[in-house]
Amino acid sequence: MIAIDGPSASGKGTVASRVAAQLGFHYLDSGALYRLTALGARRAGVHLPPVEHAIPPGLEQQLATHAAGLDVRFVGEQIFLAGEEVSLALRDEQTSREASRVAALGAVRAALLQRQRDFRVAPGLVTDGRDMATVVFPDAQVKIFLTASAEERAARRYKQLIGKGLTANIDDLLRDIHERDQRDASRALAPLVQDLRASLLDTTCLTADAAVEEVLRRYHASIDAPCN
Ligand code: C5P
C-alpha cells in the first residue's frame, strides 16, 4: 500500500498511476470521487450556494446521499458516471472548485470512506489524495507527501488543460490553486497535512519520470528495511 498525498496539481496523480502500472498494483484517484460527487450533484440539479455562503446542513445531507449512491466505474484512465464518460468534465475548473467545497463536508467524507478502502485489494494499491496517509489508509507501508511550488503547479495545470483542448488562463489557475490550497489545508476535517510518517517529495524541479523513480526507490527501500 503506497499512499501519496499533496496539494492540487502537484502531479501526484500522474506519479501514482505510473507507479501503480510499474508495480502491477491497482490505482485509486481519491480526488475523482469528490469531483464525481460535485459533478453528479450538479447534473442532478443540486446546486451549491455562492462561495461566500456556507453549505447548509440539509444540502450537506443531500450531497452525502449523492456521494453514497454514486454509480461510478473506473476503466483504465476513463471514468464513467451513470454509464457516461466524464473524464474530461471532471477536470474543468468549476468542478475542481466545487469538489474542494463538497470535500470539506463531514457527511460527504464519511459517505466516501468505505468506498475508498474497498479499493485495497491484492496485489497492492497506490492511491493519491489529501488524507490517504492520515485518515483513509493510516497503516500504509509507504507514505509520501508530494508537492511543488504553486507557480509550477499552475504551469502544469495550464499545459494539461491546453493539451486536452480546453481553454485556460494562467493567472486564474494560480489564484484557484492558492484558494484550493488554503481551503484544503485549513478545513477542520481531514485537512491537507503531511503525515508524521510521510516523507516529502518536492517535484518543482523534477520530471515526472524522476518522481516515479524516486517513489519506486522509496517503496523498494521500505521492503528492504521495513522499520525505517
Ligand atoms: O486531487 P484532486 O484535485 O482531483 O481533488 C479534488 C478535490 O477533492 C480537492 O480540492 C480536495 O479538496 C478534495 N480531496 C480531498 N481528499 C482527498 C482527495 C481530494 O478532500 N483524499
Distance CA 226, CA 56 (A): 46
The CATH number of whichever domain residue 172 belongs to comes to: 3.40.50.300
For cell 443531500, what's the residue? 62
Residue among 84, 48, 85 nearest 63 (CA)? 48
Q: Which helix (H) or strand (E) holds 3?
A: strand 2-5
Q: What is the pLDDT of residue 183?
A: 85
Q: What is the pLDDT of residue 70?
A: 95
Contact 30, 109 (CB under 8 A): no
Whether ligand 1 lies within 6 angstroms of the CB of 11 is answered as no
Q: What is the pLDDT of residue 9?
A: 87
Whether ligand 1 lies within 6 angstroms of the CB of 187 is answered as no
Q: What is the pLDDT of residue 227?
A: 67
* 215 CA distance to ligand 1 middle (Å): 21
Give the ligand 1 atom nearest the CA of 131: 21
pTM: 0.92
Report the number of distinct structural domains present in the chain: 1
Residue 172, in any domain of the structure: yes
pLDDT per position as a tens digit, 192-203: 999 999 999 999
Give the ligand 1 atom nearest the CA of 103: 20
Residue 222, in any domain of the structure: no
Composition of the chain by helix, strand, coil, percent to 5? 50, 15, 35
Domain span holding position 38: 2-217
For cell 504553486, what's the residue? 150
pLDDT per position as a tens digit, 123-157: 999 999 999 999 999 999 999 999 999 999 999 98
Whether ligand 1 lies within 6 angstroms of the CB of 103 is answered as yes
* 6 CA distance to ligand 1 middle (Å): 9
Residues of the chain with pLDDT under 50: none
Q: What is the pLDDT of residue 160?
A: 84
Residue 154, in any domain of the structure: yes
